Amino acid sequence: MSNASLRQNLVHTLRQNVPLLPDHVDDQTSLIRSGILDSAGLFHLALWIEQHVGGSFDFTNYDLAAEWDTINDVLRFVERHRDRQRPR
């Protein structure tokens, strides 16, 4: 999946699961620290990331508010960890 379609897919997932998501969300909009993402929204975001990073990814070593706060952060996180999980 290209970066553009990954981004589109992410925004679509957020739109489906986060009623408080503002109409205009850019790549720098704070999602977690601003409180836009609540419990269920965060969980859906985590599921989306798990699906795109692959398999049984362990989130517990990360400060999620820092790593996933914006769409840019999430895409960078997926990119970084997808690369690590690819077979060499």
Q: Which residue has the tokens 């957020």?
A: 14
C-alpha distances (whole Å) from 22 to each of 14, 26, 36, 44, 51 are 10, 10, 8, 17, 25
Contact region for other proteins (CB under 8 A) — 4-12, 14-22, 74-82?
A: 14-22
Q: Of 5-13, 22-30, 53-61, 77-85, which segment contacts other proteins by CB under 8 A?
A: 53-61
Q: Which residue has the tokens 């859906």?
A: 44
The single-letter DSSP state of residue 52 is H
Give the residue, chosen from 1, 3, 12, 20, that forms a contact with other proteins under the rule CB under 8 A.
Answer: 20
Indicate whether 75 belongs to the interface with other proteins (CB under 8 A).
no
- Residue 1 or 40: the one with the smaller Cβ distance to other proteins is 40
| Identified binder of other proteins from the candidate list 7, 42, 77, 82, rule CB under 8 A | 42
Are 52 and 6 within 8 A, CB to CB? yes
Nearer to other proteins, 24 or 35 (CB): 35
